[in-house]
Structure 1
Amino acid sequence: MDRNAGMAQHAIQRPRRIAILGCGGSGKTVLANRLGATLNLPVTHLDALYYDDTWQPTPPTQFADQQRSLVAGDAWIIDGNYASTLPIRLAAADTVIFLDLPAATCLWGIATRRWRYRGGQHSRTGVYDRITWNFIRYVYRYRTDMAPRVRTLIAEHAAHANVLVLRSRRAVDRWSTTLPTQQPNAPHTD
């Protein structure tokens, strides 16, 4: 059976409202930054909204309200999971990118990120690199435990959107090079 049953997969023409989902270490932030530069769209990293610099979470109602405000904009890229508020982003997105990479790839991504930032603050996102055993377990079990829930939420809230499920870094790179570029300050047209 096709693991993507019920998810639209067709060419994307100038996406303007992009939700990027996937396991920790899958490359959501890297892809969001790349697409933001290519398409000249503002990028929001949900981890930077959710956690303060001492790793205290934003209250749930405030976090949901922040996302409602973000998705009300005409153009955006938002990366992050947060399943409890995922319907907010999915309902407003014209494009959903689900990075469904193997656990080993994601764990390698986390290890290289940890090495790159030496456990400190990520300069582009404002988020501190925090790795715990629970997080590693979450990453290892993501495809079994979380991915089915993400697929269900996509089917329920993003039937109107272009949905891409990318399963390797090579697929992400190949797809991202096919996007039409926007010139800085160029108007967004459909």
Structure 2
Amino acid sequence: MNKIMVIGVSAGAGKSTFARRLGELTGIEVTHLDRLFWKPNWVEAPSEEFSAAQQQVVQRDRWIMEGNYGGTMNIRETYADTVIYLELPLRVCLYRVLKRRVQFHGETRQDIGEGCQEKMDWAFLKFIVTTYGARKKSMMERMRRYVEEGKIVHYLKTPAQIDGFLKTYIKK
């Protein structure tokens, strides 16, 4: 487990927190895709720049990259030996998104690009609710493909499974 993708069913699934904790336990550097994608004041990076930044990371011997960004998933999946997929229930994802809005009000989280203060709008919440089911289905198809390709796939659906997975690295 040297080149690790952390992906999830939705915003609020816990990808960033999980990747950060895994990085601390394994000593593997974590790249948060939101930090590469978002420029100050929530301006999107040009697609060439975003892709090039990921291409640099995947050339390393060891890495953890967290985030979905389906349009560039092929860059990461080509090199990844391990995929960790987080699929928490929709209500948990929504709760976490709302909680971080309150928790980080007026601040920039460490997993988001600099100068992007935490915000929330109805369009984002609607996006989460209306795409959750389809994403869940497409992610399961993706996980099956990864297994067929010989990648190690960890499918974690509960906080207990997530904590249990991370505890296996505390003992090492």
TM-score range, shorter chain: 0.7 to 0.9
Conserved? CA contact 2:146–2:153, under 8 Å? no
Matched residue, 2:7: 21
TM-score normalised by L of structure 2: 0.88
> CA-to-partner distance for each residue in 1:126-179, whole Å, 9 max, x for gaps?
443232222112222343122223333444456221111111122111111113
After superposition, residues 107-146 of structure 1 pair within 5 angstroms as 107-122=94-109, 124-127=110-113, 128=116, 129-146=118-135
Match in the other structure for 1:79: 66
1:187 equivalent in structure 2: none
Task: State the alpha-carbon separation in 2 of the partners of residues 130 and 160 from structure 1.
Answer: 39
8 Å CA contact 2:38–2:112 kept in 1: the answer is no
Separation in 2 of the partners of 1:160 and 1:126? 32
Question: 3-state DSSP class of the match of 1:64?
Answer: helix
Secondary structure of 1:101's aligned partner: coil
1:59, CA displacement in angstroms? Answer: 1.3
CA distance in 2, matches of 1:88, 1:151: 19
Seen in structure 2, the aligned counterparts of structure 1 residues 157 and 175 have a Cα distance that, compared at 3 Å, is closer
User: Larger deviation: 98-107 or 138-147?
Assistant: 138-147
Count of aligned pairs between the two proteins: 167
Please tell me whether the aligned partners of residues 6 and 15 of structure 2 are also in contact (alpha carbons under 8 angstroms): yes
Higher helix share: 2
CA distance in 2, matches of 1:42, 1:88: 18
Partner of 1:161: 151
* Equivalent position of 2:49 in the other structure: 62
Structure 1 unaligned runs (5+)? 1-14, 183-190
- How far, CA to CA, are the matches of 2:125 and 2:112 in structure 1? 21
Q: Give % identity.
A: 29
Q: 2:150 and 2:170 mapped to 1: Cα distance? A: 21
| d(CA) in 2 for partners of 1:181, 1:68 | 32
TM (normalized to structure 1)? 0.80
After TM superposition, which residue ranges in structure 1, 4 or more long, deviate above 6 angstroms? none
Task: Name 1:100's counterpart in structure 2.
Answer: 87
Letter in structure 2 aligned against 1:145: A
Which stretches in structure 2 are left out of the alignment for 5+ residues?
Answer: none
Offset, 1:108: 1.1
